[in-house]
Structure 1
Amino acid sequence: MSAGAPVRRLTAAAGDGDRATLGGKAVGLAALLRAGVRVPDTWVVPVGAEPAAADLATVAAHAPRWAVRSSATVEDGTGLSYAGMFRSELDVPAAGLAAAVAAVRDSARSQRVAAYRARSAAAGPEAGMAVLLQPFRTPVRSGLWLGRGPGRGRLEWTDGSGEALVSGAVTPAWEEWADGSRTAGSAPTALSDAGRPVGAACVALQERLGRPADLEFALLDDGLVWLQFRPMTAELGTPSERPAGDGADLVRGTAAAAGRATARGLRLDHADDPRWEPGAVLLAERTDPDWVPLMAEAAALVTAEGGMLCHAAIVARELGVPCVTGVGADALARLASGRPLEVDGTAGTVAVR
């Protein structure tokens, strides 16, 4: 590493040619700046740089608390997203910036990253790690958008921090958009910012970006701010029409990753459970990135919580693993009987055979 390398303020001038220095997340934020939308003030510790203490102190003077995020060279690309693979540190005190930068940088060498690369045909080179520094604010609501094409996409959101949403710790509120209009949703009215539906803002931003987009946003007390943009890496399926309710032998959830698989279901409470059997249907309350080595070996994945846009669902689509999320804790318990399960990630159903 180069000692005393400067910490850079991110500008709209950063482009694809800067990925090797600033990383993919920074390049995506710069694209959002060029699209004319609001993003957090962002400083970048470049790949291979050891930030000088004076540089960090200068940055730290801008805010008392910080979000320290990964921006790996392989992250948020057109082939693979590496969604949730690298570490981010939120609500970091100014005095803790150096330690948080080191922790984020070290996450490039984790076991989950190695497992993800090994399973992914488009893995490419190993990651170089830049680190983003952004003033931290607690959002009123946080959300994700995944585009299906012009004017079309899915919006998912929750109250408070987005960490619970992207990690699959909650089953989110959702909206479907087509032809630039809200066509369905879990709530009677659309999520709005100052009277304008957030979904409409996602549709408009996606049009400006010129491609179906994977977007992350936060609603702060003073309005909408965009946190991340990455290209779509796997097609998002179209929701199936499903009758309400579950049967004794059929469980319904969110169709998170297309495909079908039949195998014995195995309920695990943590990623290092020695009872895991490759080729089983992985049943879990939720999965964070530490579960990726198991996901890569699973016939299918079923979770009690989570939506279509959480990191587990994105990674399952990229790995080609059928996935149904948000079935609920009671249904998950019924599935953990040891009998074979037929998982249909396209329809969002799990049948006990």
Structure 2
Amino acid sequence: MTATDLPCLDQDLHTATAGVKATTLARLAAAGLPVPAGIVIPVDHPDECLPAAVAEILARCPAPHGLIARSSAVAEDGTTASFAGLYISRISPARPDALLDAVLAVRASAHHPTVTAYSQARGVIALPRMAVLVQPALRPACSGVLAADVTDSRCARWRIEALRGLAEPLVSGTQTGEIHTTGQGRRTAVRHTAQGIIQLPGTPEELEMPPGEWIRLDPGGSVRAKIQTSDAGVLHLHTPTELAKRPVLTAEARERLLAVAATAAATLNLQHIDVEWAIDPHGRLHLVQARPLTVPLTDHATASQAATDDDQVLHGIAAAPGRGTGPTVRTSGADIAGRVLICRALGPEAVPALLTGPAAVVATTGGELSHTAIITRELGIPCVTNVTTVLSALSPGAVVEVDGGAGTVRPALAVPAQRTAQDTGPLSATAVLTHALEQPAPDDGRAATLLWHDAGGPLPDVAAFGTGGPHPVGVLLVGDHPVTVPAGCRPIRLPGLGMLLWPQAAPPPPTEIAVLGPDQQILYRRTVPR
């Protein structure tokens, strides 16, 4: 393969080959927005050619502070499902072996069972097709996330979370950033943070330094930081005293960020946008990701009303609206259905547990724009983050009420009846989407079953399904691959989903589909136009 097989962000990219993230950044770069350079390893780039691709990237991509291999899946950053934190991105030293390992890890994350479980819960088709975007690792003075509602070409309602150095601790929820928000009359409120550790990509020489050594942070070398440790191409530095006293994000930088975010939203035709950004030591702003904001920002009007002198009430950041009551549990590996999960930051491995229907989530760290908060909002689970004392204040099994809109956790007198399923009616007009057919076919009143099948694999024996049993069964082929229609079937295009192979002898398929949970509750229901 040649260099032309590895497109750059300054080219016209397509989602089917470059994934959503890379294609979106290429659109922003074409519009003149400040996007760092990057090279794409396409979806179908053969595994045996990856070592050559890695060598090509290292030759073309100067990387004094290493590289970052980032997920750019075909199913990512959608309007209803963000996949926030479910795919891997990894910083790597600029060495062939390290970068190859990082690329392979990113590709493998597309096949993780968590991705499938989340996809089903959100009612989307997650194609296991992953491009990898490789960029020089930025060494930012600060970075973070902005979420905004955009009206009349400006960010009318917004929230910014920022940290010194890399934003990874912020988005993973392990640290709570400095928070900037709008209030009534567009007044800006700032909540500062005590950031003990700064994470930065390091040079090869810095990564060899022992803990306790000093490195320079600014171009002039006037600010130095002491190394705590280093790992996987990243330095962990003690925050210098002179930086701890300053704001992370200045008012001037904030206004530039808001203006660029509004332009990005117009470029992508979005009214609600989620942007990851970084500002380098020279003050230059970089956009590193932009996607639709899947769930509106939490209305914090109730948060101010929730102030109370009751020392039994714990306060945090309102991360996902709604109220939930139940006994507390401290591990996502336990049975958490109907319970309040008390945790630190949640990783992607916790998503299957979240799909079982916890009453609420309370996290010790993180903000409203962390992955924990985004996923709980998408799944409709009340969530409060940054409740720093919750582990010591609440014993396991204590019954509490969590108000995710007000950011409070308070004792409750009793456990309510377990939350009912999200069912909004019978299945008599609904097709149930599934990965595997049950034998015998369930007789639960559903109108049909759709077998979800990746068109890249062998076609199931459609003739074995047909109209036998209590309801018809069709095969949904995801993607846009050519297929030979089997005898006895007719193809039906379902916009946004794929091709349905449907028995000719069966009545027309229903226009409503649903995804069922482990207890046959409806996790998601939508109408499919034809």
Assess if the C-alpha contact under 8 Å between 2:29 and 2:35 holds in 1: yes
Q: 1:195 offset after TM fit, Å?
A: 5.6
**Contact map agreement 1:175 1:182 (CA 8 A) in 2:** no
Instruction: Give, as a single letter, the amino acid of the residue that structure 2 aligns with 1:183.
Output: T
CA contact (8 A) 1:22 1:46 kept: yes
**Alpha carbons of structure 1 residues 135 and 186: separation in structure 2 relative to 1, 3 Å:** same
- 1:99 aligned partner: 101
1:5–1:49 CA contact under 8 A, matched in 2: no
Q: Report Cα offsets for 1:309-344 as digits up to 9, x if no partner.
A: 00111111111111111111x233213342211111
**Residue 405 of structure 2 corresponds to residue 346 of structure 1:** yes
Find the counterpart in structure 1 of residue 350 from structure 2: 291
For the residue of structure 2 that corresponds to 1:164, the secondary structure is helix
Task: Report the Cα distance in structure 1 between the residues aligned to 2:147 and 2:40, rounded to whole angstroms.
Answer: 26
TM-score by length of structure 1 reads 0.88
Is the Cα contact below 8 Å between 2:37 and 2:136 reproduced in 1? yes
Cα gap change, 1:40/1:246 in structure 2, threshold over 3 Å: closer, same or farther? farther
Flag the 1:54–1:277 CA change in 2: closer, same or farther, 3 A.
closer
Task: Tell me the equivalent position of 1:153.
Answer: 158
Match of 2:57 in 1: 59
* TM-aligned CA deviation for residue 159 of structure 1: 1.3
1:217, distance to aligned residue in structure 2 (A): 0.5
String of CA shifts for 1:127-181, please: whole Å, max 9, x gaps.
3111100011222211100113422210011111111010000111111136995
In the other structure, the counterpart of 1:171 is 176
Partner Cα separation in structure 2 for residue 198 and residue 169 of structure 1: 27
Whether contact under 8 Å (1:68, 1:97) holds in the other structure is yes
- The alignment status of 1:232 with 2:283, answered yes or no, reads no
Match runs of 1:69-148 below 5 Å: 69-95=70-96, 96-120=98-122, 122-148=123-149
Once the two structures are TM-superposed, the CA of residue 276 in structure 1 deviates from its matched residue by: 3.8
TM-aligned CA deviation for residue 73 of structure 1? 0.5
How many residues are aligned here?
343
Q: Give, in angstroms, the shift of residue 198 of structure 1.
A: 4.6
CA spacing shift, 1:229–1:196, aligned 2, 3 Å: closer
* Aligned residue type for 2:9: L
Q: Which amino acid aligns with 1:127?
A: P
Offset, 1:236 = 1.3
Question: Structure 1 residues 277, 206: CA separation in 2 closer, same or farther (over 3 Å shift)?
Answer: same
Shift of 1:258: 1.1
Q: Report the counterpart of residue 199 of structure 2 in structure 1.
A: none
Displacement of 1:238 in angstroms is 1.9
CA distance in 2, matches of 1:48, 1:82: 21
The range that moved more, 278-287 or 301-310, is: 278-287
- 1:316 maps to a residue whose letter is T
**What is the deviation of 1:204?**
3.4
User: Is the 1:175–1:190 Cα contact (8 Å) retained in structure 2?
Assistant: no
Task: Kindly indicate whether residue 34 of structure 2 is the aligned counterpart of residue 34 of structure 1.
Answer: no
Kept after mapping to 2: 8 A contact 1:63/1:94: no
User: Which of 21, 27, 32 is equivalent to 1:25?
Assistant: 21
Partner of 2:385: 325
User: 1:221 maps to which residue?
Assistant: 281
Does residue 1:48 correspond to 2:44, yes or no?
yes
Mapped partners of 1:157, 1:83: distance in 2 = 18
Contact residue 72 and residue 128 of structure 1 kept, 8 A? yes
**What CA distance in whole angstroms lies between the structure 2 residues aligned with 1:199 and 1:184?**
16
Question: Relative to structure 1, is the Cα distance of residues 255 and 206 closer, same or farther in structure 2, using a 3 angstrom cutoff?
Answer: farther
- Equivalent-residue separation in structure 1 for 2:314 and 2:160 (angstroms): 23
SS of residue paired to 2:93: strand
Gaps of 5+ in 1: none
SS in 1 for 2:131: strand
Amino acid corresponding to residue 326 of structure 1 in structure 2: N
CA contact (8 A) 2:36 2:287 kept: yes
Tell me the SS of whatever aligns to 1:9. coil
Alpha-carbon distance between aligned partners in 2 of 1:3 and 1:278, rounded to the nearest angstrom:
52
User: Letter of the aligned partner of 2:393 in structure 1?
Assistant: R
Q: C-alpha separation between the residues in 1 aligned to 2:384 and 2:375? A: 13
* Matches of 1:53 and 1:319, distance apart in 2: 39
Query: What does residue 262 of structure 1 align with?
Result: 325
Inter-partner Cα distance in structure 2 for 1:66 and 1:9: 15
Kindly state the Cα deviation for residue 295 of structure 1 after the two structures are TM-superposed. 2.0
Contact 2:344 2:365 in 1 (8 A): yes
Separation in 2, partners of 1:70, 1:246 = 46
Match of 1:201 in 2: 259
* Aligned-residue CA RMSD (Å): 2.6
Measure the CA separation in 2 of the matches of 1:99 and 1:293.
Answer: 26
TM-score (norm 2): 0.60
Partner of 1:230, secondary structure, is: strand
Between structure 1 and structure 2, the one with the greater Rg is 2
Aligned partners of 2:33 and 2:264 also within 8 Å: no
Structure 1 distance, partners of 2:160, 2:127, is: 32
CA–CA separation in structure 2 for the residues paired with 1:72 and 1:246: 48
Equivalent pair of 1:12/1:33 in contact (CA under 8 Å): no
Secondary structure of the corresponding residue to residue 116 of structure 1: helix
- The CA distance in 2 between the partners of 1:207 and 1:54, in whole Å, is 37
SS of the equivalent of 1:124 reads coil
